[in-house]
Amino acid sequence: MRCHRFKCLLAFVCFVSVTWIKSVHRDAVPPVMQTLYERLLAAEERGVEVNRNLSSILEQLRNLSKAETLNSTKQPTGDPGQQIHLQPNIYFYMPHLRRHSDSLVPNVVLGQGRRGVSMVLGVPTVKRTKQSYLVSTLQSLLFNLSPSQRQDLLIIVFVAEVDSDYVNSIAQAVSKNFPTDVQSGLLEVVSPSQFYYPDFSNLTETLGDSKERVKWRTKQNLDFSFLMLYAKDKGTYYVQLEDDVVAKEGYYDAMKTFADQEASKPWIYLEFSQLGFIGKMFRTRDLAMITDFFLMFHRDKPIDWLLDHILWVKVCNPEKDAKHCATQKASLKQRYKPSLFQHVGLHSSLPGKLQPLKDKDFGKQTLYFPHINPPAALNSSLQHYQQHSLQRAYRGEDFFWALTPVKGDYIIIQFPQPIHITGFLFRSGNTENFGDKMNNTTVEVLPSNGSTQDEESERYTRVGEFVDGVAAGTIEDTLQPVSALRLVVHSNSDVWTVMSEIYIKV
């Protein structure tokens, strides 16, 4: 209010003084008055400039107030504490957001409000006209994670659609395939407000791209920005992925260790894949700056180009050559090898586009874990596929791959002489066939005073069962020595089964 009064008084004084001076013939004006006249003209111009600046500041304060109001608004679904934390600039880049107070409130379909983790993985997904890879991608990310790793990780599936039926169908698929991880809060499913996206019909075609491609890349910029803003207060590091990738086993420890090693360096991002935006890790404290840049130019260029431009703006000198610029940019990004994520999708989310990109640094996956096991005769009702036999898996030469198990199927490992077994490990599934796991299957032992004949099968003692595809344990002294081990399937399976590790520890 005081600023407003000052502006009015300054303008009035300038107007009266200049008008009076102009009314006097210039020849009759003394030098002192002429000087005063020139100063008043300058003051008048300065007053106009101050007026413009104050108006701009007031507008920014209004937008800041709106953003704070949105941040204090409770969500209609999910945890009320899960809000998208925004900077006021977003209203300048996307003015249509002002029309609806909830245009920036995320729709948390599944989530327990997990925060404070070391790593947040962002997996954006859209409706595809061809094959969907989302479930396989999540299976890959969750494969063989330890309990402590599962507690220190958050995976956010961002369904970048406003079709509520489709969003709910994705949530149902995630709940069905990963019920434990949803319940624990490890997995979240989030979508944007129906008012988030602008009108894409008036985009300018740039870079020689078609209108459809410009729309696709513009929406992708907005999708990634929304997901990053939603994730930025939930952990220490944020990793951008896609919905059609496979992760190398052990990726979590490799990424966390590398990030900790590079913690003292001024990097903007770490690279765990050389393809596009896949496997880029950011400090969550930098996400506000990064998304601000993406939103500022979301209509102009693809997101991986914009990421590179951030580096250019920060360290490149226009008076230096391209080689100097490349050297400076290299200091803001660190590359980890071998790559930890591989692109597996063939059909792009852009309709009609094939994208058979492969990361050459990914290398070969470990499909089985060999061990030296004690001599044994093997017998199974399961039919193996191609050369992937039970015998080869037991010798550590391959993995066992069998057709769909049914109730009553079994695997028997019979030893020539009773032996003392200190422990056992059976691991099903591998990094190429995540879902081919043993379910509702038990591990049983036959003590040396028993028999392997059918009429003696009741003398087997249960010592373990498969949980999330793995059965591991020890055998009590009272059951030693052991004549045989047996795996028994107790219900029909919907998928084939892979046994990637067999270890009988003696």
- Average pLDDT value over all residues in the chain: 83
pLDDT, tens digit (0-9, with 9 covering 90-100), for 467-497: 878 898 999 999 999 999 999 999 999 889 9
Domain with residues 377-505, CATH architecture: Sandwich (2.60)
Q: Give pLDDT, residue 55.
A: 67
353 Cβ contact partners less than 8 Å away, ≥ 6 residues apart: 347
Tokens encoding 230: 């939603």
State which amino acid sits at residue 286.
D
| Spatial separation of the C-alpha atoms in residues 336 and 361, rounded to whole Å | 10
pLDDT band at 293, cuts 50/70/90?
very high
Closest of 428, 450, 423 to residue 439, by C-alpha: 428
Query: Which fold does the domain 92-343 belong to in CATH?
Result: Spore Coat Polysaccharide Biosynthesis Protein SpsA; Chain A (3.90.550)
Tokens encoding 435: 């879902």
Mean pLDDT over 236-259 rounds to 93
Count of Cβ atoms closer than 10 Å to residue 369 Cβ: 15
Domain boundaries along the sequence of the chain: 2-71, 92-343, 377-505
Mean pLDDT over 316-321 rounds to 90
Q: Is the pLDDT of residue 88 over 60?
A: yes
pLDDT, tens digit (0-9, with 9 covering 90-100), for 338-380: 899 988 755 555 555 555 566 566 667 778 889 999 999 999 9
| Spatial separation of the C-alpha atoms in residues 429 and 500, rounded to whole Å | 6
488 Cβ contact partners less than 8 Å away, ≥ 6 residues apart: 408, 409, 410, 441, 442, 444
| Spatial separation of the C-alpha atoms in residues 153 and 304, rounded to whole Å | 25
Task: Identify whether 338 is preceded by a cis peptide bond (ω within 30 of 0).
Answer: yes
| DSSP symbols for 351-369 | TT-B-----TTS------B
Task: Give the position of tokens 């803001």.
Answer: 332
